[in-house]
Structures are given as structure tokens and as C-alpha cells.
């Protein structure tokens, strides 16, 4: 096991002087997948894997970003209005700075050291964590405060407009507003949210398949377009609908002939998934973990068969999970085509679950998975410079 990463020491070594420290977590989504950009419901939780930033002000307008993880440094001039994305990690913090400036915030130059602990490319929102930590840092240096909802929206804008990924609001929102021990039910239209306590008797276990298929971003945008097409085709008979959020299963069934088969399948997933999110929340509130697990199982099947964003590795990970003692529910989490599954597991069996699933997955695929046991964590904020050592995954 290595030495704990000390942000203050590293900052001093790289930039000299003292920094201020911020952190923002990644997330896991319990249920409500591909519903956020349809104005629907999601139930994510922040996880205890964070992106950390140490920053100090500069007397000029330069933003100097250092990543020890990538061993790269990037510099942009904040007074330059023509900054363009460079297709690397630095697009996330630079995008946040660009969007904040466009929104009228007077940012000053800064030195920033970034250290990410959220596994990259695993569907646990390492990019949202980097955006949110950056926004907290830049705004604080500028002496500004934003409420959490606006902060999440600005970070989403950075990703949509600067990075060029058409993601919904879920990842940034929970990275800001997450609460230890709770999942967060978010209405992605009104942005009203409720914290839903998770029982102490269970653990969230996240199984990383260690694959990321090329398809991911192209197919993500295609799914969004298919949902928009469903709304367009249903609008003449369901006037006033703005998103699939406004359609129920009965209406969809009645108008099935208006939709090409693929478009119908996509809409069916989204509309039924919204129902499942609310069922899952009711089950959690009632302490009915079996019913929560049932909703998660149905969510996975729907993502596999109707939305078609799963893959063999994710399906296998879910199947192996369902064979273990103490499992309540397992499903793919995040955008799909690889990445992670989320598992709600009886706390007493979590370690055994971790071992057994890892062995079985390795035997079946030859890949060594990473399996994380994570508490639901607090959203972003100021941080201490000492980053705790994590148990071996």
C-alpha cells in the first residue's frame, strides 16, 4: 500500500506557497437510468471517491492546471475569449472557467493542482466530480457563492457547451447535493429533490467490469435523439407534451402504431423507468429491500432489452451478483456499454460478495474487476489537504 497523497505537500512542491482545498465526489445511480435528459426521475448517491483540488490565486489572468495523475500541466489565459477544447482532462476545469466567465463571474488567475480518485471511464462521473470541484474552487477564489442547484447547472453547461457531451443534470447535481447515508431523489424537470435515507443494514457495492466500449458516447447521443423523436411523433395526439416525462404507459400503448419499433422500445424504457424510480423510493422508505431489488432487476432488464445500452460484461456482472448471499438488487449504473454495476448488498455479506464476484468474473472473462464498497457520501465542499488512504480494491 502506498503513502497517502498529501495535496498540501504536492501543491507546495509544484507551485510553492499554500493552497486552499476542495473536493467533489463521483456518484453511483441506484435507479433511473437515461431518464434525466427526459425530464424524469433519478435516484443517485454520491460515493466516497472524490476529485480534489488545491488552488491559490495568481496576480495575472493565467489559469495553470496541474494533474499529477496524468503528469501534465496546462495553461490558459482567462482574458482570452477564444479558448477552445483540447480533448483532454483539462477541458473540464477550463470549460467550467469559460462558462463561469460567460455567466458574468469575474474569475482571477489561479494555480490549481488536481488529484482524482474517482475511477476514470468507469461510469462513476469522474468528469462531473472534476467540474464541480473546479467550480467550487474558482468561485471561492473570486469571492462568490452560488446555490447548489445553480452550481450543478453551470457545471452541466460546461460539459454540454465546452466539452461537447450532451449529458443530463444527474451527475453534477448529486456531486453537489449528495448527503452521507442518503440517496437523492431528483425531479430532473423542476430540480426539486428529496434525500432518502439508506438503511445501515446494507452496503452499496460497485463492480467495475473494467471495460468501456467505443460505442458509449455516439450511442448516448443517438438515444437522446430517439427520445426526442418519440416526443415529436406523439405530440400531435398528446398536445402539450414536452418530454417523455409527460407520457404514461397507457398513452404509449394506445399510440404504439405511431412509433417505429426502435423508438417505441426507447420510450417504453424511459416511461417504465420513471415508474420504477418512484416504486424504488417507496420501497426504501418502507424498508422493503426486496421490492427495491425487484425494481433494480427490472431496470437492468429494460436497459438491456429495450434501451439496449448494456453489454455482455455488465450482464455477466449482474448475473454473478444475483447468485451471491445477501444480494437485494443489482443493475448496470450510468450510461452503459461498460463501466460499473451497482449492488445493494446486506452489510454482513458485503466482503464475501466482493471476493466471490471478483473471482467468478475473473474466471469467466480473464479480466480482474475492481469492486468498491462505498458509503453514500456528502456532496462537494471545502476539504482538508490529507487524502485518506483507501483500502485495496
Looking at residues 317 to 336 of the shown chain, list those that interact with ligand GLA (rule: CB under 6 A).
334-335
Instruction: Determine the size of the site formed for ligand GLA (CB under 6 A).
Output: 10
Looking at residues 22 to 41 of the shown chain, list those that interact with ligand GLA (rule: CB under 6 A).
33-34, 36-37
The smaller minimum CB distance to ligand GLA, of residues 113 and 332, is found at: 332
Measured from the Cβ of residue 136, the count of other Cβ atoms closer than 10 Å reads 26
The smaller minimum CB distance to ligand GLA, of residues 41 and 264, is found at: 41
113 in Cβ contact with 66 (< 8 Å): yes
Least separation in angstroms between CB 310 and ligand GLA? 12
Provide the H-helix boundaries in the chain.
Answer: 7-15, 91-102, 126-141, 148-157, 170-177, 216-234, 249-254, 261-285, 289-305, 312-322, 350-365
In the stretch 168-197, what mask flags binding to ligand GLA with x, by CB under 6 A? x-xx--------------------------
**Do strands 370-374 and 327-333 pair parallel, antiparallel, or not at all (unpaired)?**
unpaired
The smaller minimum CB distance to ligand GLA, of residues 37 and 306, is found at: 37
The smaller minimum CB distance to ligand GLA, of residues 45 and 170, is found at: 170
Work out whether 44 is an interface residue with ligand GLA (CB under 6 A). no
Least separation in angstroms between CB 159 and ligand GLA? 8
Element (DSSP H or E) covering residue 340: strand 338-346
The smaller minimum CB distance to ligand GLA, of residues 36 and 50, is found at: 36
Residues in the chain, how many? 393
Q: How far apart are CA 75 and CA 65, in angstroms?
A: 6
- What is residue 115's three-state secondary structure? strand
The smaller minimum CB distance to ligand GLA, of residues 267 and 360, is found at: 267
In the stretch 239-258, what mask flags binding to ligand GLA with x, by CB under 6 A? --------------------
Cβ-based neighbours of 40, under 8 Å, separated by 6 or more: 32, 188, 189, 243, 244, 245, 270, 273, 274, 277
List 48, 171, 246, 346, catalytic entry: 171
- What is residue 94's three-state secondary structure? helix
The smaller minimum CB distance to ligand GLA, of residues 36 and 298, is found at: 36
Q: How far apart are CA 168 and CA 132, in angstroms?
A: 15
User: Counting Cβ atoms within 10 Å, is residue 218 exposed (0-12), middle (13-18) or buried (19+)?
Assistant: exposed
Which grid coordinates are listed for 279?
A: 416504486
The smaller minimum CB distance to ligand GLA, of residues 307 and 328, is found at: 307
Least separation in angstroms between CB 225 and ligand GLA? 14
Looking at residues 350 to 379 of the shown chain, list those that interact with ligand GLA (rule: CB under 6 A).
none
Least separation in angstroms between CB 335 and ligand GLA? 4
Work out whether 162 is an interface residue with ligand GLA (CB under 6 A). no
Work out whether 21 is an interface residue with ligand GLA (CB under 6 A). no
Least separation in angstroms between CB 38 and ligand GLA? 9
DSSP symbols for 137-206: HHHHHTT----HHHHHHHHHHIIIIII-----SHHHHHHHH--TTEEEEEETTT--EEEEEPPTTEEEEE
Q: Which of 167, 271, 318, 345 binds ligand GLA (CB under 6 A)?
A: 167
Of 365, 74, 369, the closest CA to residue 208 belongs to 369
Find the largest Cα–Cα distance for the chain.
67
Least separation in angstroms between CB 53 and ligand GLA? 20
Q: At what angle do helices 126-141 and 170-177 cross, to 10 degrees?
A: 60
Least separation in angstroms between CB 215 and ligand GLA? 13
Least separation in angstroms between CB 359 and ligand GLA? 29
Q: How far apart are CA 296 and CA 284, in angstroms?
A: 12
Catalytic annotation present for 171: yes
By annotation, the residues acting in catalysis are 171
Binding site for ligand GLA (CB under 6 A): 33-34, 36-37, 167-168, 170-171, 334-335
Amino acid at each position: 500500500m502506498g503513502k497517502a497523497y498529501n495535496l498540501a505537500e504536492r501543491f507546495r512542491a509544484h507551485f510553492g506557497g499554500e493552497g486552499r482545498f476542495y473536493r467533489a465526489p463521483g456518484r453511483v445511480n441506484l435507479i433511473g437510468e437515461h431518464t434525466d435528459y427526459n425530464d424524469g426521475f433519478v435516484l443517485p448517491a454520491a460515493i466516497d471517491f472524490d476529485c480534489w483540488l488545491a488552488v491559490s490565486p495568481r496576480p495575472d489572468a493565467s489559469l495553470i492546471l496541474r494533474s499529477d495523475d496524468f503528469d501534465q500541466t496546462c495553461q490558459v489565459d482567462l482574458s482570452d475569449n477564444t479558448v477552445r477544447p483540447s480533448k483532454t482532462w483539462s477541458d473540464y476545469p477550463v470549460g467550467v472557467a469559460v462558462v463561469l466567465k460567460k455567466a458574468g463571474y469575474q474569475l482571477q488567475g489561479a494555480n490549481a493542482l488536481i488529484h482524482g480518485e474517482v475511477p476514470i471511464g468507469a461510469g462513476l462521473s469522474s468528469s462531473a466530480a472534476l467540474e464541480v470541484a473546479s467550480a467550487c474552487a474558482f468561485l471561492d477564489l473570486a469571492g462568490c457563492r452560488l446555490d447548489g442547484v445553480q452550481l450543478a447547472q453551470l457545471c452541466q453547461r460546461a460539459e454540454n457547451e465546452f466539452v461537447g457531451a450532451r449529458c443530463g443534470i444527474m451527475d453534477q447535481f448529486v456531486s453537489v447535493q449528495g448527503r452521507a447515508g442518503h440517496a437523492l431523489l431528483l425531479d430532473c424537470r423542476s430540480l426539486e429533490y428529496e434525500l432518502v435515507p439508506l438503511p445501515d443494514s446494507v452496503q452499496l457495492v460497485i463492480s467495475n467490469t473494467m471495460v468501456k466500449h467505443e460505442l458509449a458516447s455516439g450511442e448516448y447521443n443517438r438515444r437522446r435523439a430517439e427520445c426526442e423523436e418519440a416526443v415529436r411523433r406523439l405530440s400531435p395526439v398528446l398536445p402539450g407534451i414536452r418530454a417523455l416525462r409527460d407520457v404514461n404507459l397507457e398513452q404509449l400503448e394506445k399510440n404504439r402504431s405511431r412509433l417505429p419499433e426502435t423508438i417505441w422500445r426507447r420510450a417504453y424504457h424511459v416511461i417504465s423507468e420513471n415508474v420504477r424510480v418512484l416504486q424504488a423510493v417507496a420501497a426504501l422508505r418502507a424498508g422493503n429491500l426486496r421490492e427495491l431489488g425487484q425494481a433494480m432487476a427490472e431496470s437492468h432488464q429494460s436497459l438491456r432489452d429495450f434501451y439496449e445500452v448494456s453489454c455482455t460484461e455488465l450482464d455477466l456482472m449482474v448475473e454473478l451478483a444475483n447468485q451471491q448471499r445477501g444480494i437485494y438488487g443489482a443493475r448496470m449504473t450510468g450510461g452503459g456499454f461498460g463501466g460499473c454495476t451497482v449492488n445493494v448488498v446486506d452489510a454482513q455479506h458485503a466482503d464475501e460478495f466482493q471476493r466471490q464476484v471478483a473471482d467468478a468474473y475473473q474466471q469467466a472473462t480473464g479480466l480482474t474487476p475492481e469492486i468498491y464498497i462505498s458509503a453514500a457520501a456528502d456532496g462537494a465542499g471545502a476539504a482538508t489537504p490529507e487524502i485518506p488512504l483507501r483500502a485495496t480494491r
